[in-house]
């Protein structure tokens, strides 16, 4: 149950930005202190993302103080930066329900507030969006309207951000990009751009020069176009000399300002007011500290990205305590198993786009630093980089969250599948992702991968199967191979068993039965196991089969099922349209099994909001209770005897 928390004196009177604007600039620092404390207070007792929003408190307050939102369009990138934004735009009273089932979203969401101009769960979209808005405003004659994209937490490493910058530079639209440069995504930023920004940030001559440049240019622009052009030339010349190279952003025809201290709210207000009067595409480089104001989060920013519940005084992160050993997270099974496999097979490499701690590839990066790569928030590059490795006889395990894999679909087809390259896609967070909600649910991978030729698609029901599928996939000539598995813990304590190859395209019978057969794929099959146990206690005895591979299907197993059973239920933690159930219906149609009654259970054809996985399974009717009810709904016969397995 989420807990309401009182706000400070000033913050308690701010319901909307119009209230914030009633304060003097001298009061803004206190607002920032209260806003930061409020985020700490609420997240410590209710959970959620943490360090990212602490790092942009001053920027958030300054933007809402200077801009006329929602008329002025403010677009956040990597939406977990936006907690302060939500609190200042009418949702303080509801903020304790953040990320809770039926509560407010953890990310900006258009249907939730007019202040949320765009839904932003995935990164690197803000510049494209804000540019589209700016061009639209220009077309409609709304020349007074501001358009601001706040991009940070590693989002500038993605190709889409570069594409948008490249386009924005040639559009004379009213666009301000604010680079929240904290040198972090969830894990530390990587890549040449990070090094470049660090060089700018630490250049002492340039830092002395840049303090007054924005204000001077704003004044000169008012004098006239000639003075303005002269000032621009002078600015570029001095910047180029001081930095000993041309500015990357100015090469893309952006006016570059900064770097400035992103934690000085009064200076931010002054700079933002000046930039409001300068036409054309502009970039403001703000240097911030992720986790600012909470010492432990500043020190270990990865750990405090989303720490769960914690004691705000001691910093102790509250973890459930158990008397017995517990099953591991699937991501840790992957992280440990890939190291074991790599020790046996020198060809194995590990790749992730900016999620080393989230997918546990950080274990391999530490143990084998020359064989594991974090390529930054760049899913398309991750896939094609993996394809390049595969052409040279290496075996890349490309670990990408299921919902992020959607961003690299062309590369999967064009660069991997057509060429039959042995790239192993480990799709973490497949199925419902929980509190992160619809932007992060891995709902579609079975459907969108299933239609691609040359692809093997599998889902383990438990940790041992995940290990064995990883072992199977790295054998010779396996071609493109998908292994999908969910967020969270598995079901086995004794999971670290010797590797065994699994025959590709072979499912298995979990238990025999009569009248009704339940076909499941992946870890959701454990809900079916619970359902069959409950049904057995009531005298119902459905059979249960673990399909294990949605491509290729185990046709021998399916013939056995359809010859014996007239009622079949399919269960998957994925979209019903085009998923495993659809594959079963196609098999039925192709093989003339027209008399069988089939009920498909899975994620329905609608956007399912956030909540804990069991809550969402129940909402969509494929938790243990939902499966058991469907067996009864199909008119299963009740018997008093036991079926031999």
In sequence order, the 6+-apart residues with CB closer than 8 A to the CB of 250 are 236, 239, 256
SS3 state of residue 491: coil
Q: How far apart are CA 514 and CA 534, in angstroms?
A: 16
267 in a known ligand binding site:
no
290 belongs to the catalytic site: yes
Q: Are 460 and 523 in contact (CB under 8 A)?
A: yes
In sequence order, the 6+-apart residues with CB closer than 8 A to the CB of 178 are 59, 63, 148, 149, 150, 151, 283, 284, 286
Give which of 316, 314, 371 is closest to 343, Cα–Cα: 371
Helices 204-223 and 265-276, axial angle in degrees (round to 10):
40
In sequence order, the 6+-apart residues with CB closer than 8 A to the CB of 165 are 127, 177, 249, 252, 254
H/E/C letters for each residue in 272-325? HHHHHCCCCCEEEEEECCCCCCCHHHHHCCCCCCCCCCECCCCCCECCCCCCCC
Q: Which two tokens stand for residue 264?
A: 């000085």
Q: Are 441 and 403 in contact (CB under 8 A)?
A: yes
| Options 255, 282, 290, 450, the catalytic residue | 290
Q: How far apart are CA 562 and CA 516, in angstroms?
A: 10
Q: Which two tokens stand for residue 299?
A: 């020190």
**Which residues sit opposite 401 in a β-bridge?**
428
525 in a known ligand binding site:
no
379 belongs to the catalytic site: yes
What radius of gyration, in Å, describes the C-alpha atoms of the chain? 27
Q: How far apart are CA 463 and CA 360, in angstroms?
A: 15
Task: For 64-88, give one letter per residue: b (16+ CB within 10 A) or e.
Answer: bbbbebeebbbbbbbbbbbbbbbbb
123 in a known ligand binding site:
yes
Cis peptide before 550 (omega within 30 of 0): no
379 in a known ligand binding site:
yes
**Which residues sit opposite 458 in a β-bridge?**
483, 549
SS3 state of residue 252: coil
523 in a known ligand binding site:
no
Element housing 572 (H / E): strand 567-575
122 in a known ligand binding site:
yes
Q: How many other C-beta atoms lie within 10 A of the C-beta of residue 203?
A: 17
80 in a known ligand binding site:
yes
| Options 91, 194, 276, 407, the catalytic residue | 407
Task: For 596-610, give one letter per residue: b (16+ CB within 10 A) or e.
Answer: bebbbbbbbeeebbb
Helices 57-66 and 265-276, axial angle in degrees (round to 10):
40
79 in a known ligand binding site:
no
67 torsion bin: left (phi>0), alpha (psi -120 to 50), beta (else)? beta
| Options 379, 465, 527, 572, the catalytic residue | 379
Q: What share of the chain is helix, strand, coil (3-state, %, to 5)?
A: 45, 15, 40
126 in a known ligand binding site:
no
324 belongs to the catalytic site: no
Residue numbers belonging to the annotated binding site for Mg(2+): 153, 182
Residue numbers belonging to the annotated binding site: 80, 121-123, 153-155, 182, 294, 379
Q: Which residues form the catalytic set? A: 290, 379, 407
Residue numbers belonging to the annotated binding site for thiamine diphosphate: 80, 121-123, 154-155, 182, 294, 379
């Amino acid at each position: 149950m989420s807990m309401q928390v009182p706000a400070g004196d000033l913050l308690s009177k701010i319901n909307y930005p119009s209230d914030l604007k009633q304060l003097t600039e001298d009061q803004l620092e206190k607002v920032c202190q209260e806003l930061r404390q409020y985020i700490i207070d609420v997240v410590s007792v209710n959970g959620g993302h943490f360090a990212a929003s602490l790092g942009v408190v001053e920027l958030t307050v300054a933007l809402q103080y200077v801009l006329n939102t929602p008329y002025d369009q403010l677009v956040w990138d990597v939406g977990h930066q936006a907690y302060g934004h939500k609190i200042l735009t009418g949702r303080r009273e509801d903020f304790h329900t953040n990320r809770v089932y039926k509560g407010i979203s953890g990310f900006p969401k258009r249907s939730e507030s007019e202040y949320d101009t765009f839904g932003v769960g995935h990164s690197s979209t803000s510049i494209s969006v804000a540019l589209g808005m700016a061009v639209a405003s220009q077309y409609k004659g709304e020349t007074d309207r501001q358009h601001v994209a706040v991009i940070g937490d590693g989002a500038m490493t993605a190709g889409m951000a570069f594409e948008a910058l490249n386009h924005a530079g040639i559009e004379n639209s009213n666009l301000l990009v604010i680079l929240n440069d904290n040198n972090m995504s969830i894990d530390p930023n990587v890549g040449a751009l990070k090094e470049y920004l660090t060089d700018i940030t630490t250049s002492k001559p340039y830092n002395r020069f840049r303090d007054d440049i924005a204000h001077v240019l704003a004044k000169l622009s008012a004098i006239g176009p000639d003075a303005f052009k002269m000032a621009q030339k002078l600015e570029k010349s001095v910047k180029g000399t001081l930095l000993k190279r041309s500015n990357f952003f100015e090469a893309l025809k952006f006016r570059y300002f900064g770097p400035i201290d992103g934690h000085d709210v009064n200076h931010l207000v002054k700079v933002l007011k000046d930039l409001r009067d300068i036409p054309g595409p502009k970039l403001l480089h703000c240097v911030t500290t992720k986790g600012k104001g909470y010492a432990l989060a500043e020190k270990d920013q990865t750990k405090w990205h989303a720490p769960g519940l914690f004691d705000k005084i001691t910093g102790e992160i509250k973890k459930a305590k158990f008397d017995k050993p517990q099953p591991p997270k699937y991501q840790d099974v992957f992280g440990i198993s890939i190291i074991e496999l790599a020790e046996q097979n020198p060809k194995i490499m590990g790749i992730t786009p900016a999620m080393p701690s989230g997918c546990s590839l950080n274990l391999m990066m530490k143990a084998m630093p020359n064989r594991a790569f974090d390529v930054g928030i760049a899913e398309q590059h991750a896939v094609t980089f993996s394809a390049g490795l595969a052409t040279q006889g290496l075996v890349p395990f490309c670990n990408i969250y299921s919902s992020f894999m959607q961003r690299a679909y062309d590369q999967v087809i064009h660069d991997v599948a057509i060429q039959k390259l042995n790239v192993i896609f480990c799709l973490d967070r497949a199925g419902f992702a929980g509190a992160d909600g619809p932007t992060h649910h891995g709902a579609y991978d079975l459907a969108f991968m299933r239609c691609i030729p040359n692809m093997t698609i599998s889902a383990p029901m438990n940790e041992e199967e995940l290990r064995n599928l990883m072992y199977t996939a790295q054998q010779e000539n396996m071609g493109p191979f998908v292994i999908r598995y969910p967020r969270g813990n598995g079901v086995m304590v004794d999971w670290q068993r010797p590797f065994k190859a699994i025959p590709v395209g072979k499912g298995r019978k979990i238990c025999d039965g009569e009248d009704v057969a339940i076909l499941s794929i992946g870890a959701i099959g454990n809900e079916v196991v619970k359902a069959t146990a409950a049904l057995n206690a009531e005298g119902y005895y459905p059979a249960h089969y673990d399909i294990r591979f949605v491509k290729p299907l185990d046709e021998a197993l399916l013939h056995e099922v359809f010859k014996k059973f007239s009622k079949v239920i399919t269960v998957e933690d994925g979209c019903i349209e085009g998923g495993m159930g659809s594959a079963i219906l196609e098999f039925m149609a192709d093989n003339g099994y027209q008399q069988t009654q089939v009920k498909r259970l899975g994620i329905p054809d609608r956007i399912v909001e956030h909540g804990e996985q069991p809550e969402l399974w129940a909402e969509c009717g494929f938790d243990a209770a939902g499966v058991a009810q469907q067996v009864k709904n199909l008119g299963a016969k009740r018997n008093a005897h036991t079926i031999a397995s």
